[in-house]
Amino acid sequence: MAGGFPLLINDVRIPSSEALYQACKFPHLPELQKKIIDQSSPLLAKKICKSYERQERGDWYLIRTKVMRWCLRVKAVQNWLKFTPVLLNTGDLSIVEYSEKDDFWGALPWDSELLNGRNVLGRLLMELREEVKKNTQKSDWEIGLPKINDFKIFGREIDPPKDSNGIDNDFSDIW
């Protein structure tokens, strides 16, 4: 849940990919999306959603991996100079999302030396790392959109993200 990688979707500045991911759970609740996006940290954006779990879109568990893959791609392309070097610096090491609670996105401690879980976030990051290795120029990338119905932010269908007019996002002057 690293911050410092802001995004621009439908001309809306979003402070983190976690905030974008969480907001995508609630396309039918634009006011809640705004509340999520207005949080000062990725962790706070995630925490807001806990009390609204029953109001998540009905197909969330079917589409959540597609949404996360897309959010990570947006993060990479819109923060190319800052994020892709971090990803590439992992070399060929396995990327594991250590978690105390979530064995879907991460891996839980099994014993003092082993972790156990699906580690979907780690796998998506390793997949993205391989794509970055193959397509080393930001201009080689087209983010596109996942095939998801009712994919909205603030009541509007999400448009294919731009790469911020060819420059890395540096919203430090407005955050």
Q: pLDDT category, 164, cuts 50, 70, 90?
A: low
Neighbours of 27 (CB within 10 A): 21
The verdict on 46 and 15 lying in the same domain is yes
| Residue 49 placed within a domain | yes
| Residue 158 placed within a domain | no
How far is Cα 91 from Cα 70, in angstroms, rounded to an integer? 22
Average pLDDT over residues 59-71: 98
157 — phi, psi (to 5°)? -55, 140
Asked whether the predicted pLDDT for residue 17 surpasses 60, the reply is yes
Say what the pLDDT of residue 97 is: 94
Range of the domain at 87: 59-147
CA 140 → CA 105, 121, 137, 165, distances in Å?
28, 23, 5, 14
| Residue 164 placed within a domain | no
Long-range Cβ contacts of 129-134 (<8 Å, 24+ apart): 129/87, 129/88, 129/90, 129/95, 132/76, 132/84, 132/87, 132/88, 133/88
pLDDT in tens, 108-126: 999 988 999 999 999 999 9
> How wide is the angle at C-alpha 108 spanned by C-alphas 100 and 103, nearest 5°?
95
| Residue 165 placed within a domain | no
| Residue 155 placed within a domain | no
Asked whether the predicted pLDDT for residue 167 surpasses 50, the reply is no
Residue 124: give its domain's CATH number. Answer: 1.10.357.40
The verdict on 42 and 104 lying in the same domain is no
| Residue 17 placed within a domain | yes
The verdict on 78 and 125 lying in the same domain is yes
Query: Which runs of consecutive H residues, i.e. helices, occur in the chain?
Result: 17-23, 30-37, 42-50, 60-78, 80-88, 120-134
Please give the share of the chain, as a percent, with pLDDT higher than 70. Answer: 93
Work out how many domains the chain is built from and give that number: 2
| Residue 156 placed within a domain | no
The verdict on 85 and 101 lying in the same domain is yes
| Residue 36 placed within a domain | yes
Say what the pLDDT of residue 1 is: 58
Say what the pLDDT of residue 149 is: 97
Question: How far is it between the farthest Cα atoms of the chain?
Answer: 48
Helix axes 60-78, 120-134, angle to 10 degrees: 40
Asked whether the predicted pLDDT for residue 148 surpasses 80, the reply is yes
Q: Which of 120, 128, 124 is nearest to 102 (CA)?
A: 120
How much is the mean pLDDT over the chain?
92
How far is Cα 101 from Cα 121, in angstroms, rounded to an integer? 14
The verdict on 12 and 82 lying in the same domain is no
